[in-house]
Amino acid sequence: MRQQSEDKTTDQKLADSFKRLACQHPIDKITIQMITDGAGVIRPTFYNHFQDKYNLLEWILVHDILVPVQPMLASGMMNESLWLIFHNILKEKEFYMHVARLEGQNSFESMVEKAISLILSGMLEDQMKGYKLKNRWLTPEHISVYYAKSMTYVLLSWIRSGMELTPEELTDVYGFIISRSLMDLMRDLEQFEPK
């Protein structure tokens, strides 16, 4: 038990060091040595916990953003979960503004999408146990990827726009969009007054 607690502390020290560095340097310029120096650990310690800095970034994303909302998601509290995600990202605005720029093979977008998809897939698998699919395409994997792409788009658009909307406003916007089909949305838009 003590080893697990020490590992969590080390993981968090490495994460905190990486967050500080990401606010000061481009991600691709951050070295493992810089991270370990900032965390007060030796370089081999890093590799006992993470494969590379991108694996550390995935850990940060999962532990700081997604793990806190899992109990709410399990209780069907979708709006509250979304608000908490947006709120936690806003709390570390500078960090997320920097990492959102990460593109290429280890893009932040792909990390976010993968993490959200895994959580949604697990939830859907639990919900769909014992039920026969109406259509063989409607698997937990396909559905979770579809919604993960949607949420990733909204999240990254919000971050890249400077997080102008409050978490409450963004939760309302996303809740409005996700709770309607495209046809419903078009019908609802017809009710708005022209500019």
Residue pLDDT, tens place only, 103-162 = 988 899 999 999 999 988 888 888 888 888 788 888 889 999 999 999 999 999 999 999
Domain membership of residue 111 (yes or no) is yes
Backbone angles phi, psi at 137, to 5 degrees: -75, -25
- Smallest CA-to-CA distance from 151 within 185, 186, 125, 112 is with 112
CB neighbourhood size of 187 (10 A): 11
* pLDDT score recorded for residue 130: 82
Write down the pTM of the prediction. Answer: 0.85
Domain membership of residue 42 (yes or no) is no
Number of domains in the chain: 1
Domain membership of residue 9 (yes or no) is no
Domain membership of residue 45 (yes or no) is no
Domain membership of residue 16 (yes or no) is no
Domain membership of residue 60 (yes or no) is no
- From the number of C-beta atoms within 10 Å of its C-beta (0-12, 13-18, 19+), residue 171 rates as buried
Q: Among 69-73, 149-153, 162-166, which stretch is predicted with the lowest mean pLDDT?
A: 69-73
pLDDT tens track for 11-41: 999 999 999 999 999 999 999 999 999 999 9
* pLDDT score recorded for residue 124: 86
Domain membership of residue 113 (yes or no) is yes
- Which range of residues forms the domain containing residue 129? 76-180
Handedness of CA 49, 19, 146, 79 (dihedral sign): positive
Q: Are 151 and 174 in contact (CB under 8 A)?
A: yes
